[in-house]
Structure 1
Amino acid sequence: MWAGGLADARDRRTVLLAAHCGLGATYAALWVQAALGVGSVPLLMVLVACQSLALGAIMTTMGAAVPRLVPAELLPAANSLGSLTRYAGSIIGPVLAGVLIPVVGLGTLYLLDAVALLAVVWAVVRLPPLPPRPGPRAGTAGLRHLAGSRLLVAVLLVDLAAMVFGMPVALFPELAWHTFGGPVGGGLELGLLYAAYPAGVVAAGLLSGTFTRARRHGAVMAGAAAAWGLTVVVLGLAGWLWLALVALVAGGAVNFVLSTFRNAITQAHTPDALRGRIQGSLTVVLFGGPHLANLLHGAATTVLDHRAVIWAGGLLTTVTVAAVTWAFPELRRLGAVAAGDTG
């Protein structure tokens, strides 16, 4: 949240530069403590907190900066490319780490992270200046704008329904063990369940040119959220591993569409002077939603079978999205943003 206020009050290029430098310094500190064999758990916790702080600031500020860098009609494509880059990195990074840790050691990887960030810092330096624009400076101005916009409230409700009701990641170990016969401590079945969703995300990202030109942004977003709920229903009812994997791949693809148009809509329909604070609020939801989903799904399994919890959550997602779409016609009628309309 504080990063969003900073992004509205300062040059966003400067904020991005400071956040990336802070992230690089954190990785360098992780390398130093590993090389010296400090072994301090409190120090590690502080450094991990610094890493999260820097990443949150980067995501918030980038979300606010994108509409200043690309034309309004290209916002879906720009958000799609950004999401594809993040998800591809989340897949390739662990694979590379698994290969390199036995060769160079974990500590050296921290140093390599810090060095690699120099290329990102150089790219940020090459951005044009992004000075703040006139507008309300109160810290609560973003929340007031969000609460006062029926369109943004509808987008937030749809996104929350998809993330909280329809995100059963916490139940994957139980699903792999009890339903698909995997070993108790994890195994191929669990690994495939975890891999299927990001595979669908990356596939959709590579084919994003087929949907980012859509004209009815609100209907596409709501339809993708409802479809996500249906894929979760199939996941909960699936008695075969292959069917569960197909459902998760399809779910990852439609969730990619959902996130692409969620970001494009919020960016296009928020004044530039408030974009940092609005993006800060959405970043809190983005990070907090899955944790709340883990809590709710875990608690529900004390009452219901894990498969029932999964398909019920998917059904609740679809029903909630349908109700929000009916109650907020602004969302289902929303079209594409014309050039020059982003402020």
Structure 2
Amino acid sequence: MPTTSPTPRDLPPAGSSEGSSTAPPTAPPTAPPARKARSASGLRGVALDTRPLAHPVFRRLLIGQGAAYVGTMVTSVTIPVQVYALTRSSLAVGLTGVAGLVPLVVFGLYGGAIADRFDRRTLYLASACVTWAVTLALLCQAVADLRSVPLILGLVAVQAGAFAVSSAARGAIIPRIVPVPLIPAANTLYFTVGNVGQVAGPLVAGVLIALPNGYRWAYGADAVLFSLLLYSALRLPPIVPTGTGARTGGLRSVFDGLRFIAAAPVLWMSFAVDIAAMTLAMPTALFPAAAQLRFGGGVGLLYSAIAIGSVVAGLFSGWIGRVRRQGRALAIAVITWAVAIALAGTVRQLFAVVILLAAAGAADLVSAVYRQTILQTYAPDALRGRLQGVFTVVVAGGPRLGDLRAGAMASATGLGIAWTGSALLCVVVVTVGALLIRPFWRYTVTPASPRAHD
């Protein structure tokens, strides 16, 4: 079934024209012009594709989201550190992830249905305001020194629900503000900016938490940075779904989206490999304990390491959009992630762990771009909100289950099995699943159409 795609805006030509050499024939330049052209073309083919930045709406959204990513990561590190300081329990840290799982599932699925029925800009702005209010509440509990883990978990749950709705709306917005051929590049820019935030955020959190009343400074910084996202959301134009949309609303429209996924092995397998990666090979709930027991510190560096690798991969990601066998590439990227995570759990030197986590982060960037691109180009616009809601549930819910799994396993078996043993299981599960689901393994994008063939 062909997809319903937005009308692309006029784009400037990709790249710039090469100037011709003016040197006389008797004095040739050091490098022949043809070789220079090939060299420049090769660099453009490898470097991050920035053409989506030519679209002002996307550019503003990216800047606002980039600032919010930094603040969000400050809070994402501060919450587990605060909970661990109050409880000295990795299981309690894992519960911070699972606390938001039910709201994430409910509001991710239903928020996607709403995004297919109403103006996505309004929905995105409203849900972002709720997220900002929760950040202010976290700041207030730190200022009041309430020391209440149940309160923190409750705020995490509300924040997860708001995040699920805003993510479903944002994912459905992107294919409407950039042309279809630039969707992989736009997603790569988004993930790269997000990963810059994941590098900077934990480092900033480590500095702020170490200050007197550090939790207050950390939550306050998030509140200030997130306000930039609210401004960018206000500047969005109205984005009403095209096509038939979710006219009925409610559970029926949610099930319509789920049926579409169930009938497409490429889609549900792309979700399945991500669930395996995040539930079986996500070690972040173990970072506070590992930093204290193995390395004597460095929790901010551990939280930043994966994102550092993703940023480096993003800077050299020009090749990603040219890969045709996207299903196979996604599976290989997830397997690479799990292998690197498994190896990181076996070493005791902080520098070596950071290098391996960075390698995992590079693979994660590649897999994230392919997951998002497959979803956005496979589905018609009338279903994008609902499918993006499912994507949000999978991508954000998987790590929360992974936090619970890691925390519970660490409490029962120790860090080694919870970290490395589970990651090796992920390698086996993804390898077998990808080879068995042939439509996913053979999934190929043709240059003639934004819709891929399986």
Matched, 1:58 2:163: no
State how far apart, in whole Å, the 1-side matches of 2:285 and 2:142 are: 31
Count of residues paired in the alignment: 336
State the match for 1:161 in structure 2.
Answer: 276
State how far apart, in whole Å, the 1-side matches of 2:365 and 2:338 are: 13
State the match for 1:282 in structure 2.
Answer: 391
Matched, 1:140 2:252: no
Alpha-carbon spacing, 1:32–1:120, altered in 2? closer, same or farther (3 Å):
same
Structure 2: 5+ residue stretches without partners: 1-108
Q: Which amino acid aligns with 1:69?
A: I
Asked if the contact 1:56/1:283 (under 8 Å) is kept, the reply is: yes
SS of match in other structure, 1:222? helix
Which stretch shifts more, 14-23 or 65-74? 14-23
Shift of 1:107: 6.1
| Residues 41-120 of structure 1: pairs in structure 2 closer than 5 A | 49-96=157-204, 116-117=225-226, 119-120=228-229
SS of match in other structure, 2:332? helix
Asked if the contact 1:73/1:338 (under 8 Å) is kept, the reply is: no
Shift of 1:198: 1.9
Matched, 1:206 2:321: no
Which stretch shifts more, 97-106 or 54-63? 97-106
SS of match in other structure, 1:9? coil
Which stretch shifts more, 287-296 or 101-110? 101-110
TM-score by length of 1: 0.82
Which stretch shifts more, 131-140 or 255-264? 131-140
Matched, 1:151 2:151: no
Structure 1: 5+ residue stretches without partners: none
State the match for 2:373 in structure 1.
Answer: 264
Asked if the contact 1:67/1:342 (under 8 Å) is kept, the reply is: no
Q: What's the % identity of the aligned pairs?
A: 37
Asked if the contact 2:125/2:234 (under 8 Å) is kept, the reply is: yes
Q: Which amino acid aligns with 2:192?
A: L
Alpha-carbon spacing, 1:216–1:319, altered in 2? closer, same or farther (3 Å):
same
State how far apart, in whole Å, the 2-side matches of 1:192 and 1:32 are: 27
SS of match in other structure, 1:10? coil
State how far apart, in whole Å, the 1-side matches of 2:382 and 2:336 are: 34
Match of 1:196 among 281, 305, 319: 305
State the match for 2:7 in structure 1.
Answer: none
Structure with greater contact order relative to length (CA < 8 Å, sep ≥ 6): 1
**Which has the larger Rg?**
2
State the match for 2:295 in structure 1.
Answer: 182
Matched, 1:7 2:115: yes
State the match for 1:216 in structure 2.
Answer: 325
TM-score by length of 2: 0.64
| Residues 303-342 of structure 1: pairs in structure 2 closer than 5 A | 304=413, 306-336=415-445, 338=447, 341=450
